[in-house]
Structure 1
Amino acid sequence: MEDEVMSEIHLGCPPATNKPFLSRFSFSGHHHCNFSVDKDGDLLLPRRNKNNFTTVPSPLSFTVTIQHSITSTLPLVGLQVWKSQLVLSEFVLHKTCTSSEFHGIVCLELGSGTGLLGILLARVAKAVFLTDHGDAILGNCANNVEINSSLFNPKTVVNVRELNWISEWPIQDTNCHCTIPDNSVSWFMFRYCWSSQDFEQVKNASFIFAADVVYSDDLTIALFSTLKRLMSFGCDKVLYLGLEKRYNFSLNDLNVVANGYACFRSYIKESGLCEQEKGTFVGKRIDVTHIPQYIKDYDRGEDVEVWEIKYIF
């Protein structure tokens, strides 16, 4: 029997059962979002048109309902909510409150898990691709998208797609076209596959997001292999990545070390500290103390980082 792990976000939840648990994350931006009112005191929602897509900023406060597991085996950690996912979600919400940078964009999330971050992006983006691996995680993500669909911009398209980082993706060929069969069992098998139209949209994705995907060296190596292909695909792309340093005692080092974080950093050249060479990832850390905490009742701690990363090719 595999050992189970538990995100500290779920501490205090009822004991684990076979049934999924519902958590409600209340986002409050009363002190951080700059909105104006008209002479009658009604809220003025500024609109920005980009490629004929009209977006409306997030309201001052709202609640996202997330179905998740309280504990899981390591291969199914995407069924839980993790701390860096919350911090990156707050970063995205702050951007949507204070700028139009994410309004009307096409974006892709890697390792979407429960879909919380993508649900926030769907409030202002034009198209959101939520990707992960495995039917259980993808099915739960799709369910959360459905639960929270009333929060989305009406014109936003949200797609849940299978993406295995060890596969040679993205590849465009005639086998990528998806035709949904009439048979419901077959439809379930094909519902998360990529279409040729998807690939055309991903070419135009200007932003990639990923949270809490750095915890295994093998997965980190596979992640950056995927990022090399993806960030060389179509238009220039910016990656926003949230992670949490996890420390373990190492017999080799005879010390407590964050090996997963060290593997991640081996791929990143810090901007301003080196020349930008072709074939390198250049990143800068975002000061998380400048990101307001829109979600209450959780402790960020000191080991969560958010990075802005570009690929030079």
Structure 2
Amino acid sequence: MEPGEKVLSDVHLYHTCECLSTKESNSVTRFVIKLQSSDTDEIGDNAVSADQDSVDNTGHREVITETQHIPSCLEVDEDGDLILQRDGNSFNSEDTAVITLEHSLATELQDVGEQVWAGALLLCDFLLHHETDFCQKSVLDLGAGTGLTTIVAAMLAKTVYCTDVGESVLRMAHHNVEINADLTSNCHVVVRELDWCKGLHVQGKGNFRLSEVDITDILQAEVIIAADVIYDDDLTDALFKTIHLLLSKGPPKTVYMGLEKRLVFTLSDLDVVCPAYTHFYEGLVRLQQLGCEGRQFHYFRLDEDLPMYLNYNRTKQLEIWAIQSVIPNG
């Protein structure tokens, strides 16, 4: 990419956005979640109605959920942060929930965490569909970006550490957690800076500084999640080093990753390839071979036809991967 060139996620095309006049280039989107009915497990029951379903070319059934419009006049506080007018519990009689999210529409590559990407929405679907696996668990969100996956995890879990790098994205994630506090009131959410390139030690400054207590809590996390973090080989290598450390300490745990295979045509290959995805897979193999004393690491892709709780274009390039640490005979 050329210096200053911006990248754009297409997720915003499926939702109604309105820019905040006080914050350059930022938008607010309300993501409507169609919650699973308590009396059925059928995928079709997540649909609004039969004639509103659509099927994409991957064979997945796409559930069209209602997108709520942002009010024409948005109120902000003295810092320019959005003030929400609450009307009680966001869970209504139709079993829906609404996540209000501030995010960017287009950024330079180093700031892509401020956008919403489809891999995060797929991971949210996975969390919601397997809610009993995350209920009352301690969760670590790596590269949390806007905090969307953190908020969904916090709807289920006991504790969630929301981590990323950089003051801007951390402030955005913290703000989004705050304005969705009605959905996460039963969970303790902590926003901290965790730089994979620096290793797991005290780092950062101010309100997002990672402390010794935080590190102890993070190492005890039972579940790790990450979405849309596979796009740069150096960062992928740093991510795997961090995952290796996390899987080697504390209780046995599982990492769930939502990602998108991004296809590119290269002159060197004269073909359409997925270099970032290939590097990711090679990292999985190395991680399993490396293992650690007293533990084994296993990775696998989760191939299941998940119901769609959010509205987005689910393509066959979107995948969920899991990495487990296992103590033999443990």
Report the TM range for the smaller structure's normalisation.
0.7 to 0.9
Answering whether residue 316 of structure 2 is matched by residue 302 of structure 1, we say: yes
**Residues 247-306 of structure 1, C-alpha deviations (whole Å, 9 max, x = no match):** 112222121100000001112249xxxx977357421111242x100112x211110000
Q: Who is 1:293 aligned against? A: 308
Alpha-carbon distance, 1:311 to partner: 4.0
C-alpha distance in structure 2 between counterparts of 1:14 and 1:27, whole Å: 16
> Aligned to 2:30, which of 20, 24, 34?
24
Structure 2: 5+ residue runs without aligned partners?
41-90
- Name the SS of the counterpart of 2:37 in structure 1: coil
Q: Who is 1:50 aligned against? A: none
Alpha-carbon distance, 1:125 to partner: 1.1
Q: Who is 1:33 aligned against? A: 37
Q: Who is 2:269 aligned against? A: 253
> Aligned to 2:245, which of 223, 226, 229?
229
C-alpha distance in structure 2 between counterparts of 1:283 and 1:233, whole Å: 18
Alpha-carbon distance, 1:91 to partner: 0.5
Answering whether residue 115 of structure 2 is matched by residue 76 of structure 1, we say: no
Alpha-carbon distance, 1:15 to partner: 9.4
C-alpha distance in structure 2 between counterparts of 1:239 and 1:177, whole Å: 23
Alpha-carbon distance, 1:102 to partner: 0.9
Percent identical residues: 36
**Count of residues paired in the alignment:** 265
C-alpha distance in structure 2 between counterparts of 1:278 and 1:23, whole Å: 41
C-alpha distance in structure 1 between counterparts of 2:262 and 2:268, whole Å: 17
Q: Who is 1:55 aligned against? A: none
Amino acid at match of 2:113: G
C-alpha distance in structure 1 between counterparts of 2:158 and 2:31, whole Å: 23
For the structure 1 residues 15 and 2, does the alpha-carbon distance in structure 2 shift closer, same or farther, using more than 3 Å as the test?
farther
Decide whether the 8 Å contact of 1:276 with 1:312 is kept in 2: no
C-alpha distance in structure 1 between counterparts of 2:326 and 2:280, whole Å: 17
**Residues 15-71 of structure 1, C-alpha deviations (whole Å, 9 max, x = no match):** 988241000000012xx33259xxxxxxxxxxxxxxxxxxxxx87211000100110
Answering whether residue 97 of structure 2 is matched by residue 65 of structure 1, we say: no
For the structure 1 residues 308 and 14, does the alpha-carbon distance in structure 2 shift closer, same or farther, using more than 3 Å as the test?
closer
Amino acid at match of 2:215: F
C-alpha distance in structure 2 between counterparts of 1:269 and 1:235, whole Å: 22
> Aligned to 1:192, which of 205, 208, 211?
208
> Aligned to 1:91, which of 126, 138, 144?
126
TM-score of the superposed pair, with normalisation by structure 2: 0.74
C-alpha distance in structure 1 between counterparts of 2:101 and 2:298, whole Å: 33
Alpha-carbon distance, 1:200 to partner: 2.4
Amino acid at match of 2:108: T
Alpha-carbon distance, 1:195 to partner: 2.2
C-alpha distance in structure 2 between counterparts of 1:165 and 1:118, whole Å: 18
Decide whether the 8 Å contact of 1:240 with 1:307 is kept in 2: yes
Q: Who is 1:136 aligned against? A: 168
TM-score of the superposed pair, with normalisation by structure 1: 0.78
> Aligned to 1:163, which of 191, 194, 200?
194
Root-mean-square deviation (Å): 2.5
Structure 1: 5+ residue runs without aligned partners?
37-57, 179-188
Answering whether residue 105 of structure 2 is matched by residue 101 of structure 1, we say: no
For the structure 1 residues 277 and 113, does the alpha-carbon distance in structure 2 shift closer, same or farther, using more than 3 Å as the test?
closer
**Residues 90-141 of structure 1, C-alpha deviations (whole Å, 9 max, x = no match):** 1001111xxx221111110100001011101111211100000011110100
Decide whether the 8 Å contact of 1:228 with 1:311 is kept in 2: no
Decide whether the 8 Å contact of 2:226 with 2:258 is kept in 1: yes
Q: Who is 2:152 aligned against? A: 120
- Name the SS of the counterpart of 1:191 in structure 2: helix
Alpha-carbon distance, 1:204 to partner: 1.8
Answering whether residue 215 of structure 2 is matched by residue 211 of structure 1, we say: no
After the TM superposition, which of the residue ranges 245-254 and 63-72 deviates more from structure 2?
A: 245-254
- Name the SS of the counterpart of 2:208 in structure 1: coil
Q: Who is 1:49 aligned against? A: none
> Aligned to 1:8, which of 4, 7, 10?
10
Amino acid at match of 2:183: L
Decide whether the 8 Å contact of 1:288 with 1:305 is kept in 2: no
C-alpha distance in structure 2 between counterparts of 1:194 and 1:299, whole Å: 36
For the structure 1 residues 269 and 81, does the alpha-carbon distance in structure 2 shift closer, same or farther, using more than 3 Å as the test?
same
Tell me which of the two structures has the higher relative contact order, counting C-alpha pairs closer than 8 angstroms and 6 or more residues apart: 2
